[in-house]
Structure 1
Amino acid sequence: MVQEITEFSENVSDEKLETDLEKYLVLAKELGATDAVRISTDFIIMDERVRAKCYSPRCPYYGTNLNCPPHFDWDLEQTIKIISKYEYGVFIMLQVPPEEQTGKNYDSAKHSIPGARKMYEIVAKVQSAAFYDGYPLALGFAGGPSCKRVFCSAVDCKGIKGEGCRMALKSNPTMHGAGMDAYSMAAKMGWKIYPIGKTTDSSQIAHGLELGLVLI
């Protein structure tokens, strides 16, 4: 299907905005999301402790790609300021088999995480749809592991070498990398989310979650 292109306008009518937001919820689900919900940006929970978890315990992807600290260098104040420029978000959830997010070999490139890749792709496609609908500043965030883990786990990031990102139209910063407390937001939404680590037995949990957000 050819993407319909809408002329950019300084003022978007409330009716168009309502219609478009509903369309993005439907699109996210058509692309495979378990649920997608419209939120106002005051629903977004910001907490500097979320970014602190990139440092302690030090994430293995810290410093390895453009979308993780320190290369992704928005501080909490800057992120809050950016979010304040938006009115709404499309908050997206995907349930995945618990085996995808558990196991001591999770960080190995051989450990398959198709759900994480799907969430990156859903976010990118919803963001793209909003762009062509006349929202040039639509901004997407994945919610799971870094783009390095999802797309380029076996190779070095070209972006931090100044050579251009291999997955520029699919990769986005993560919600937690920007200081958003995605776990608390999911719980607040009523989505069941469980603490998962490398020692978690997959039989202990019903499912894992991948989360994403597109600001409109």
Structure 2
Amino acid sequence: MNIAEKANEIIAAAKEKGFTNAAPLDISTIELTEQVRDMCAVNKCHAYGTNWSCPPSCGTIDECSAVVKSYESGIIVQTTGELEDDFDFETMEETMKKHSQNFIGFIKYLRATYPELDILPLGAGACMSCGKCTYPDAPCRFPELKSSPMEGYGMVISEVCKANNIDYYYGKGTLTYVGCYLFKNK
């Protein structure tokens, strides 16, 4: 089975495993920009320079670009929540937690089901695979589960979705978290 056929199988599995939506990702549509990386450096999320998955430790834009370009195929995954109002922080947090749990669980599923694939998971926000990151004092404890943020790599998520014909905005009262998995044969 070639990578494209596997991608279709993986998309179906992603939906079965709890993601709201999943679609093919054409690697050639991914553009990494220094402007997005600069937004990371402002550190509004308080993750910049605090873990192995976020900038600057995930690599420079050039290094991240070389990594992304080395992959053959990918999928985009999404988790969408419906908010009662613009201040429904409970649903926002629940949706983020659900997306993170599904994302980490799907990394485990992919590695177990497709050992012949090299998989690069890029998530929504900082890696959540362990409670406290060892950065910078010790190596990552779970490198097989580590995921960098799409933004940390320099991606404008709405543009990646648009370029791959998957909605990013699902209407008023919704919030969508997005991640992706890139694949190549080992």
For this structure pair, what is the TM-score category when the shorter chain's length is used for normalisation?
Answer: 0.7 to 0.9
User: 117, 122, 130: which is aligned to 1:141?
Assistant: 122
How far residue 18 of structure 1 moved from its aligned partner, in angstroms, is 3.2
1:65 matched to 2:51? The reply is: yes
In 2, the alpha carbon distance for the partners of 1:98 and 1:128 equals 33
Residue 96 (structure 1) shift: 2.4
Q: Deviation digits for residues 150-188 of structure 1, max 9, x if unmatched?
A: 753xxx4224320643x5443311111111211222244
Gaps of 5+ in 1: 1-14, 106-110, 195-203
Q: Give the deviation of 1:206 after TM superposition.
A: 2.2
SS of the equivalent of 1:21 reads: helix
5+ unaligned residues in a row in structure 2: which ranges? none
Q: Amino acid of the residue matched to residue 38 of structure 2? A: A
Report if aligned partners of 1:127, 1:214 keep a CA contact under 8 Å in 2.
Answer: no
CA distance, structure 2, for counterparts of residue 212 and residue 147 of structure 1 = 11
1:51-200 mapped onto 2 (5 Å cutoff)? 51-56=37-42, 58-72=44-58, 74-98=59-83, 112=94, 113-125=96-108, 127-129=110-112, 131-132=114-115, 134-135=116-117, 137-142=118-123, 144-147=124-127, 151-152=130-131, 156-162=132-138, 164-165=140-141, 167-188=142-163, 189-193=165-169
Distance in 2 (CA, whole Å) between partners of 1:41 and 1:82 is 11
* Structure with the higher fraction of residues in strand conformation: 2
Match of 1:49 among 22, 27, 35: 35
Contact 2:48 2:54 in 1 (8 A): yes
CA contact (8 A) 2:48 2:55 kept: yes
CA 1:44–1:119 in 2, change beyond 3 Å: closer, same or farther? farther
Contact kept in structure 2, 1:123 and 1:214, CA below 8 Å? no
TM-score, structure 1 length as denominator?
0.69
Structure with bigger gyration radius: 1
Identical columns (%): 20
Q: CA deviation at 1:27?
A: 1.0
RMSD (Å), alpha carbons: 3.1
Q: Aligned pairs, how many?
A: 179
SS in 1 for 2:125: coil
Counterpart-to-counterpart distance in 1, 2:177 and 2:11: 16
Residues 146 and 173 of structure 1 are in contact (CA less than 8 Å); yes or no, is this contact kept in structure 2?
yes
Contact 1:51 1:176 in 2 (8 A): yes
**Cα distance change of structure 1 residues 126 and 44 upon mapping to structure 2, 3 Å threshold:** farther
Of the candidates 15, 21, 42, which is equivalent to residue 7 of structure 2? 21
